[in-house]
Structure 1
Amino acid sequence: MISSAFRRRAVPLGVAVALVGGTVALLPSAAEAHNGGGNHGAQSVIFINGDGMSAAHREALRLLAAGFDGDTAMDSLPVSGLEETDPRDPNAAITDSAAAATAWATGTKTFNGAISVDVNKKPLTTLGVEAKKAGKATGLVTTAQVTDASPAAFFSNVADRGQQSEIARQYIEVSKPDVILGGGEDRWYPTGTPGAYPDAPAEDPTEHSQSDKGNLVQEAQQRGYQYVSTAQQLNSVNPTRPVLGLFANEEMFQQKPEGQGDLYNPVVPLSTMTSKALQVLDKDKDGFFLFVEEEGVDEFAHQNNATRMLQAMQELDKAVQVARDYVARHPNTLLVVTGDHDCGGPTVEEATDTADESGDGTHISGEDGPFAIKGTNKQFVIDWTTTGHTGVPTVVTAQGPNSDQLEGYYPNTHIHDVLRTTLLGH
């Protein structure tokens, strides 16, 4: 049972109050009605992270892609709430992705840079491992390195998020996700042994193979993984076998300020990777846990590059639609969409507001745009306040069994409790 101690509101958002026979009664929320009156028999979870995404990122996408009267796929989900993101770091008040994802994956807050270890660096039990032990299929999809902080927190334990080859080793030897799709090939091949993506590519000469754990792609294949590195190969995988797909040296894009080599053009779109992951995981009759992440939101926000950030947001929303389509056919699946923290501190402003309150008028901490509001002759600009993270709460939207538990305002550890209860029933 999910603890009511996490609930901050006496009446959750979306619950109506009626006077019945002289007494106050709570009417079912839209979420509860959608859940069939609170059915807790879900088998599967799709958890989607727009890394660095808070309310302003989502609203900018809505205006650009849907207009004043439209909705994005992520904002069309029937349940909404807000999560606090603060870590438990002796030197910081604002979270990084590692501490935030650890809260989701383990239900425990920790220090920045920690991957599913507590403040004393003791390993914590992760949701990915628990789901696997319960007989469920598991998977991760990201446009970052597959061993980057957010996916790593669900399937590994290290005190330093930089230990990406150790994270990869733990994937294939310990937690064994059935699907691993994204970037980061460099962390799987030893120095001097590039894989499908050559060392020192023109778009970023600093990228190179650097595994300190040997040839982990070869080890993965020996352990039964299919290895793919192109869209065509991914399309042809056997869905009855585990798959490792690495589609870039590092992230599946180049995160730089506007006009300075910035590029968002993944070899395989996030929505395609999500669709293939669901095809593989759906074969397990006991259900599955799937983590999906768009990293470009965070990385381009760090660069105050709104054009590329919005491009990544659009691709994220396409992946959310793939998940929504799956849930429509499999209503025993909980779908949750959120962001681990805010990045860039963006705000949406009038395009006619020419004053740059937050920066020096350059691309860094300045204003970006104007961007068209769909279906109108109006425009907006995005004004940045920082190139780092902020502590504002992030929006949570959800659909499916137990989604009603995500209404209201709560710490990010509460999301872990909801996901765990949905997957394991306790």
Structure 2
Amino acid sequence: MDAKPLRWLAATVTTGVLVAVGATTIAADASNERQRARSVIFVNGDGMGPAHREAARLALKGLGGQLVMDTLRVSGQLTTSPDDPTNPITDSAAGATAWTIGQRTYNGSIGYDVNKKPVPTLGFQAKRAGKATGLVTTAQVTDASPAAWFSNVPDRGQQDEIARQYLDISKPDVILGGGEDWWLPAGTPGAYPDKPAEDPTEGSRSTKGDLIAKARQSGYRYVSTPAQLQAAPNGKLLGLFSNQEMFQQREEGKGDVYSPVVSLATMTSKALSTLSKDRDGFFLMIEEEAIDEFSHNNNGTRMLQSMGELDKAVAVAKAYVAEHPDTLLVVTGDHECGGLTVEDTGTGDESGDAISREDGPFSIPGSPLKFNLDWTTPSHTGVDVPVTAAGPYAGQFTGKHPNTYVHEVLSKILTK
């Protein structure tokens, strides 16, 4: 027998040993993860599909660059289909509820199964398990995605009831974002006046009374400005920084504004510094809503801006995980919005075909090249969304999974 087959045989035997050792290592790692997993940071880029991430990478980091969210060591895919009697494409409510109760459900559902029965959500269960909990969003804090973690209503539009449940039932320790209108009765404006010039339809509308006053009575510190947020001590915290969303979603050049009073990264940093004081660990949900809203308006400029702000918040979370290896960080989207494609600028403009809408060109830093965005719908689509993760149990997100799988993984940390 010559040397070459012997080398092949040696490699085969060695590989076999490594596989056996690897299996043992995987089992040991799973055991170690159970021992060291304490907290979860879950990040939702609402409406963020694969093309959103690639477009943001090109526009913000250049041809050879990476978004922070794409540097996490594990990647996979999640499906997004709901269990809706009339629509195979999910909305944010059903998409987020699949994460929080582990079941597909109908569009509009917040913590309700397909039989319209409430199911305990992961945010509620984490609190019951003794962990601190919180949510940070550029949407209304009572909007579909955050609400699905901490409330149960059959219709996502019941935002004042969702706020009431936060205070009376699920009791998240930190609540930061927009939507002051849903916390105050009609005719009782708060820090943000009714009928602002940028959107006269906005105004206080709670049917559950003055929920800000109730929050204060329940021990929350209420803040509405950056200075107040910075000065807020540790403890229960409610911060509302706009009437509704913390931006104005419009088509480009038609009143579109993305200039939150407080950045998503700043709110994330404050939430982490507060929640991390709990010795039992915490759960924090972070959301950038503007990706979805500007995608509905096929506004590439603002979508890319909001993607950049999301990535800054991910950077804050990643830095925290680097210092606290007992924390799982997951970044994904509840669905894709806009049917987005990244195209060469030489591609023909299909804007006049009533199907596609060309957007751009957008510059790539460090390169003379540019790219276009092609929107195919102002609505959600059913494509899979990317998921990236780091920390204990991150490896379980490798591969393709239904969105309900999020519940399976996170519950191992949050409900024990």
Aligned to 1:376: 367
Change (3 A) 1:57 1:420: same
Q: Residue by residue, what CA displacement relative to the aligned partner does 1:178-214 show, whole Å, maximum 9, x if unpaired?
A: 0000000000000000000000000001101000101
Per-residue deviation, 1:21: 5.0
1:211 is aligned to 2:200:
no
1:279 is aligned to 2:273:
yes
Aligned partners of 1:314 and 1:340: how far apart in 2? Answer: 18
1:401 is aligned to 2:373:
no
Work out which of the residue numbers 12, 29, 33 in structure 2 matches 1:39. Answer: 33
Aligned partners of 1:276 and 1:146: how far apart in 2? Answer: 16
Q: TM-score, normalised by structure 2?
A: 0.93
Larger Rg: 2
Query: Which structure shows the higher helix fraction?
Result: 2
Change (3 A) 1:180 1:19: farther
Aligned to 2:3: none
Aligned to 1:160: 155
Per-residue deviation, 1:254: 0.2
Aligned partners of 1:259 and 1:102: how far apart in 2? Answer: 34
The answer (yes or no) to whether the contact 2:122–2:414 under 8 Å persists in 1 is no
1:352 is aligned to 2:343:
no
Q: Residue by residue, what CA displacement relative to the aligned partner does 1:208-239 show, whole Å, maximum 9, x if unpaired?
A: 10001010000000110000000110000011
Work out which of the residue numbers 328, 336, 339 in structure 1 matches 2:333. Answer: 339
Aligned to 2:5: none
The answer (yes or no) to whether the contact 1:85–1:412 under 8 Å persists in 2 is yes
Aligned partners of 2:269 and 2:309: how far apart in 1? Answer: 13
1:222 is aligned to 2:217:
yes
Change (3 A) 1:26 1:294: farther
Q: CA RMSD in A?
A: 2.0
Change (3 A) 1:22 1:251: closer
Aligned partners of 1:131 and 1:264: how far apart in 2? Answer: 33
Q: TM-score, normalised by structure 1?
A: 0.91
Q: Residue by residue, what CA displacement relative to the aligned partner does 1:150-184 show, whole Å, maximum 9, x if unpaired?
A: 00000000000000000000001110000000000
Change (3 A) 1:351 1:243: same
Aligned to 2:197: 202
The answer (yes or no) to whether the contact 1:365–1:387 under 8 Å persists in 2 is no
Per-residue deviation, 1:419: 0.8
The answer (yes or no) to whether the contact 2:125–2:414 under 8 Å persists in 1 is no
Counting aligned pairs with the same residue, the percent is 62
1:297 is aligned to 2:291:
yes
Change (3 A) 1:72 1:304: same
Aligned partners of 1:164 and 1:59: how far apart in 2? Answer: 33
Q: Aligned ranges for residues 126-137 of structure 1 at < 5 Å?
A: 126-137=121-132
Work out which of the residue numbers 46, 50, 67 in structure 2 matches 1:51. Answer: 46
The answer (yes or no) to whether the contact 1:32–1:404 under 8 Å persists in 2 is no
Aligned length: 403
Per-residue deviation, 1:133: 0.7
The answer (yes or no) to whether the contact 2:122–2:415 under 8 Å persists in 1 is no
The answer (yes or no) to whether the contact 1:304–1:365 under 8 Å persists in 2 is no
Aligned partners of 1:228 and 1:203: how far apart in 2? Answer: 22
The answer (yes or no) to whether the contact 1:114–1:161 under 8 Å persists in 2 is yes
Ranges of 4+ aligned residues in structure 1 off by more than 6 Å: none
1:234 is aligned to 2:229:
yes
The answer (yes or no) to whether the contact 1:86–1:94 under 8 Å persists in 2 is yes
Q: Residue by residue, what CA displacement relative to the aligned partner does 1:226-267 show, whole Å, maximum 9, x if unpaired?
A: 00000110000011x100000000000000001100000000
1:39 aligns to what SS in structure 2? helix
Gaps of 5+ in 2: 1-10
Work out which of the residue numbers 407, 420, 426 in structure 1 matches 2:411. Answer: 420
2:199 aligns to what SS in structure 1? coil
Instruction: Output the amino acid matched with 2:410.
Output: L
Gaps of 5+ in 1: 1-17
Aligned partners of 2:382 and 2:124: how far apart in 1? Answer: 29
2:359 aligns to what SS in structure 1? strand
Per-residue deviation, 1:146: 0.1
Aligned partners of 2:51 and 2:201: how far apart in 1? Answer: 33
Aligned to 2:258: 264
2:99 aligns to what SS in structure 1? helix
Aligned partners of 2:250 and 2:178: how far apart in 1? Answer: 17
Work out which of the residue numbers 243, 253, 257 in structure 2 matches 1:249. Answer: 243
